[in-house]
Structure formats: C-alpha cells, structure tokens
C-alpha cells in the first residue's frame, strides 16, 4: 500500500509540473480614484498557468476579457473569462507564439505564450 501511495504522489507531482506559469506585466493608472476618491491600492497581476491548449486561473478572480494576439498584433481570439471559470480552453487551431492580454476595467495584464 505504501508503494501505491508513493506512485500516486509521483504521478500527481509530474502532472502538476506540466503547468507553466505565464508571467504577466501590469499596465494601468494606479492613481485613478475609486469609490470615495481614495487612491486605488496596488493591484497584483492574476496568476495564470498554461498547459497545452488550456489556461488555468485561481478561483475567485474578477471577470477578464481575454485577447490572444499574433506577432503582428492582430487579435486572433477573444473571449470573456468569467469569475467562476478556473479553466479556459484555447482553440487548437492556434499554433506558434502569441501575446496574451487580460483586460479588467482600466487594467491590462500582458504576457507571452507558445502553443
């Protein structure tokens, strides 16, 4: 039984390592007032992972507009990532290097992915 448990832990850690973190850069006006004219606190980029043709998001994130841009800057895919979604499939017809954009209000988070 101990051997089976070790095997299962090995399999879980192998599959967990297949997901790669997508580093994101933040663009926006962090001095823009919200609510009662208090300055907005620092915002953090969402944590996004990629494996094959799937993006993984942490639970309880805000709604994002997801844009995938080709090397020429053309949007080749767009969708809404609703707050209840933790897994977003991407079209298998995409192949190559792309820029990923997540738009949330006046904030833009960008990174690069390869499919």
Query: Does residue 97 surpass a pLDDT of 90?
Result: yes
User: Whole-prediction pTM value?
Assistant: 0.75
For 8-26, the pLDDT digits (tens) are: 444 444 455 589 999 999 8
Would residue 6 be called left, alpha or beta, if left means φ above 0 and alpha means ψ between -120 and 50 degrees?
A: alpha
CA 32 to chain centre: 24
Select the CATH number that applies to the domain covering 19-114 from these four: 3.30.590.10, 2.60.40.10, 3.40.50.720, 2.60.40.3080.
Answer: 2.60.40.3080
Sorting pLDDT into bands at 50, 70 and 90, what band is 30? low
- How far apart CA 27 and CA 47 sit, in angstroms, is 16
pLDDT in tens, 36-87: 555 556 678 999 999 999 999 999 899 999 999 999 999 999 999 999 999 9
Judge contact between 111 and 100, C-beta under 8 A: yes
pLDDT at 4 over 50: no
């Amino acid at each position: 039984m101990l051997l089976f448990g070790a095997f299962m832990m090995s399999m879980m850690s192998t599959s967990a390592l297949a997901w790669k973190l997508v580093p994101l850069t933040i663009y926006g006006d962090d001095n823009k007032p919200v609510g009662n004219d208090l300055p907005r606190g620092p915002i953090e980029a969402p944590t996004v992972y990629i494996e094959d043709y799937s993006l993984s998001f942490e639970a309880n994130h805000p709604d994002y507009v997801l844009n995938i841009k080709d090397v020429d800057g053309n949007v080749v895919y767009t969708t809404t990532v609703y707050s209840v979604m933790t897994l977003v499939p991407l079209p298998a017809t995409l192949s190559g290097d792309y820029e990923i954009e997540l738009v949330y209000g006046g904030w833009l988070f960008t990174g690069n992915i390869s499919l």
